[in-house]
Amino acid sequence: MTETNSSESSITTNQTDSGTVNLLLSRRSSTAADMVAPGPDAAQLQTILAAGHRVPDHGKIGPWRFVIFEGEARTKFGQMVAAIFAVKNPEASEKLLEFESQRFNRAPLVIAVISSPVDHPKVPQWEQLLSAGACCQNMLVAATAMGFGAQWLTEWYAYDDDVNNALNLNANEKIAGFLYFGSRTKPADERVRPDLAERVRHF
């Protein structure tokens, strides 16, 4: 067993951290609609953000940023989403508009992960997009490890130019995901998954 040289890490080589492995092999998303308070507190939020920030990042660009929605900010965002939805769907019922206005109120905490790629002589934008996806997954895993339910959603409002403008996204930016976090009200059953063996070949 050999200690690494990193001053930041106490990771040892060739030793299984079975807690982490089990988490990765068993993680399940929770449904945002089934989440309740309490969500992560300030310190836990910081931990989730730090985990999201610690991802592989070719060129050390950091091509992502995070926007946090808690408390009243969730309602404010929902009202904006419902107003945009109403303009595009003039036939929408009051019930549907109410549903749209409550999108972020499904969970105590929502983090928008924004992919923010730059033109770089060596690092393709594709790789920068992947790095933002890694931010999302790291946050889901961290929150799950901390006992919270977590879900990565996009839904229509991740792809709407008016919503993007209201969130002050630049022209090059995209929503990688809206991540919902909260206390679980029910355990998630396992779901059908693609067959691993069918997707693996030795070259």
Q: Considering the complex, what minimum distance in angstroms separates the CB of residue 29 from ligand FMN?
A: 3
Cis peptide before 187 (omega within 30 of 0): no
Query: Of 64, 177, 180, 181, which one interacts with ligand FMN (CB under 6 A)?
Result: 177
Helices (H), 54-105: 72-88, 94-101
Q: Applying CB under 6 A, which of residues 23, 92, 96, 153 lies at the interface with ligand FMN?
A: 153
CB nearer to ligand FMN: pick between 29 and 75: 29
52 part of the interface to ligand FMN, by CB under 6 A: no
Distance of alpha carbon 137 from alpha carbon 179, whole angstroms: 9
Please identify, using beta-carbon distances, which residue of 17 and 155 lies nearer to ligand FMN: 155
Q: Is 129 helix (H, G, I), strand (E, B) or coil?
A: helix
Residue 132 phi, psi (nearest 5): -65, -35
- How does DSSP classify residue 30? P
Closer CB to ligand FMN, residue 97 or residue 129? 129
Among 151, 164, 169, 175, indicate the residue that binds ligand FMN (CB under 6 A): 151
Pairing of strands 109-115, 174-184: antiparallel
What is the binding site for ligand FMN (CB under 6 A)? Answer: 28-29, 151-155, 177, 191
